[in-house]
Chain A
């Protein structure tokens, strides 16, 4: 099978690839051909290049791989304030999943993540589609929808903490304008505080989804719209059935970005609710930070961060796999 494939590739390599979107294929082939006589110019181990890449090598080996191994090792030990060398198997993991605070954090992050990602994608997509209707003042609107993304999570958290302030904020305004019994004190309500985090961070991040989607929409061929108009298909139908499925790559990029934000969610919580009221808005990232530095239980914290890492890899791996497959298909 593999031999066949390489045979086919060798056949094709002789002549410029034809058809499809690969008009540039011919150029690539000639470039490859020209490269051959110049080979000696590029040494296999260019010393200067490796010296230049030394910071990257060190970063990968120590900062990325080394820390992962170290954290994994510590998670199997009984370390408290300082890392210890004993080996206790999965004790920390068992302890972790009997820890109420951790379990509550997981519940919160799942609820938060689902709401946040869905809301961001829906709002961002709607904004992009509506802006794409050739509205006037497009630039102004885009600027307005994206500016929160330039702000820090801390600032975002603090602003919304103030807006949602139960005695002087939105609730007071609602009551003043006539809804005397309006209840909007979610930020101090154990059952609703997670949704206030959703509101604040969706405000910040949906502009990003809009920007990504708008770029995707601008790539849609005008011919498609002409054809749809000739066939008398309503615009919304074209969006639902053709355009949005075409935006798959932009959507997956947006999903990955939002997912990373969910996992990292820390600054906004610290600024907005400090995990409260009670433990009603605790999240895993905050749990880990608290156990690392506040409660000096690095064994447990390391176990938690390994769980976090595995979750990230498990969710993102299919995306990268699909994307590299798509890229490989594109290259032929």
Chain B
């Protein structure tokens, strides 16, 4: 994060908004002093061939990006008879919600026909504790790294960040063995620990950068007043961390919900997350493929991250920008 300099913001107005955003992300207190400068309203250029070209390009791209969403939705409300006609893009003649009901409670994986709801609840059970735990660990790490800076911790953090780029395949098998030896393999606590470990680099980075924007004087004052490690953390830092906790939540909920590989390997058959179950429903089922049910199940699986995305808007972008180190 860049250092905040009001003078710089005033000089170049377009940067003002970005700065204000950065300020909100780094230190809410600092942002409050400068009123968010308005982006100058330029005279909108009149319509020219170039403008029309710009809009045409953007429209075509938008259609391409929306196409799969449209296909998913339309397919999921068509009866199979209509799908067999091969009109992928056609609006349904007989609109039906049966595929959605089937997808939720009757779609089959192997011999179990309880629908995707099983995976949904498994995913909820995985995502909630994993998110909480990984954020807690990340916040404590970031706090210790930013304010206490014990010797050698910077080096440790460097290794952790590089670790974020190690392909999972290198780590999976040894991790399986380690977890099996402590009887956590194929269990809910096991997968939660795994998500916490793999989420640690980004979470730590996120909180470390956030705390780096908080004035050190504040910490020193708290030290002089006799605050200890945990007291300063819980009473001073944590209440100030709300914005970054929201960003971290968005990041972790989406990442963990969308995870496939780790859930497949570590969760165990009883806790398979929704993504794994979705893939099993669609790709390992024998017999006629019920495309409408499949698409309804796909939408249902994507619903949580999409909801997070549409509700959080700009925060989501901020999350991926700050978590950019991993991706």
Contact = CB atoms under 8 A, between A and B. Distances in A.
A38 B222 CA distance: 12
A56 B309 contact: no
A143 B58 CA distance: 13
B223 A154 contact: no
A163 B67 contact: yes
A274 interface: yes
Nearest to A222: B14
A48 B153 CA distance: 13
A52 B140 contact: yes
Q: Which residue of A31, A41, A149 has the most chain B CB atoms within 10 A of its CB atom? A: A149
Contacts of A208: 320, 327
Main secondary structure on A side of the interface with B: helix
Contacts of B169: 285, 288-289, 292, 301, 304-305, 308
B209 to A, nearest CB: 13
B279 A162 contact: no
B12 interface: yes
Interface stretch (B30-38, B101-109, B255-263): B255-263
Contacts of A263: 167
B121 interface: no
Interface in B291-320: 291, 294-295, 298, 301-302, 305-306, 308-310, 313, 316-317, 320
Nearest to B230: A48
Interface residues on A, range: 35 or more
Interface residues on B, range: 35 or more
Contacts of A212: 321, 324
A172 B84 CA distance: 11
Contacts of B150: 44-46, 49-50, 53
Interface stretch (A7-15, A65-73, A86-94, A97-105): A65-73
Given A42-B148, A49-B144, A145 B171 contact: no
B71 interface: yes
Nearest to B276: A154
Contact of B260 (A67, A149, A154): A154
Given A67-B171, A223-B12, A218 B151 contact: no
Nearest to A156: B68
Contacts of B143: 52
Interface in A73-123: 74, 83, 123
A41 B224 contact: yes
A180 B15 CA distance: 53
A84 B325 CA distance: 36
Contacts of A253: 324
Given A31-B216, A308-B169, A308-B170, A172 B88 contact: yes
A104 B203 CA distance: 37
A123 B261 CA distance: 28
Interface string A306-332: 101100110010001000000000000
A31 B219 CA distance: 13
Contacts of A62: 178
B88 A163 contact: yes
Contacts of A83: 177
Interface in A222-239: 222-223
A71 B166 CA distance: 12
Interface stretch (A126-134, A186-194, A240-248): A126-134
Interface string B264-288: 0100000000011011001100000
A168 B157 CA distance: 51
A141 interface: yes
A144 B7 contact: no
Contacts of A63: 163, 171, 175, 197
B15 A163 contact: no
Contacts of B321: 211-212, 215
A151 interface: yes
Contacts of A66: 174
Nearest to A147: B309
A257 interface: yes
A16 to B, nearest CB: 14
B234 to A, nearest CB: 12
A119 to B, nearest CB: 12
Given A127-B61, A154-B278, A52 B229 contact: yes
B118 interface: no
A219 B15 contact: yes
Interface of A: 21, 23-24, 31, 34-35, 38, 41-42, 44-46, 48-50, 52-53, 55-57, 59-60, 62-68, 70-71, 74, 83, 123, 126-127, 130-131, 133-136, 141, 143-156, 158-163, 165, 167-170, 172-173, 176, 203, 207-208, 211-212, 215, 218-223, 253, 256-257, 260-261, 263-264, 266-267, 270-271, 274, 285, 288-289, 292-293, 298, 301-302, 304-306, 308-309, 312-313, 316, 320
Given A148-B68, A163-B68, 17 more contacts: A53-B140, A59-B163, A60-B163, A74-B173, A127-B58, A130-B57, A141-B58, A145-B61, A148-B65, A150-B254, A159-B295, A203-B68, A218-B14, A220-B14, A264-B167, A288-B169, A312-B165
Interface of B: 3, 5, 7-8, 12-15, 17-18, 40, 42, 44-45, 51, 54-55, 57-58, 61-62, 64-69, 71-72, 75, 83-84, 86-89, 137, 140-141, 143-145, 148-151, 153, 156-157, 159-160, 162-163, 165-175, 177-178, 196-197, 200, 204, 216-217, 220, 223-224, 228-230, 254, 257-261, 265, 275-276, 278-279, 282-283, 291, 294-295, 298, 301-302, 305-306, 308-310, 313, 316-317, 320-321, 324-327
12 contacts: A38-B220, A64-B159, A71-B170, A146-B309, A147-B306, A152-B275, A162-B72, A172-B88, A208-B327, A221-B15, A257-B327, A320-B162
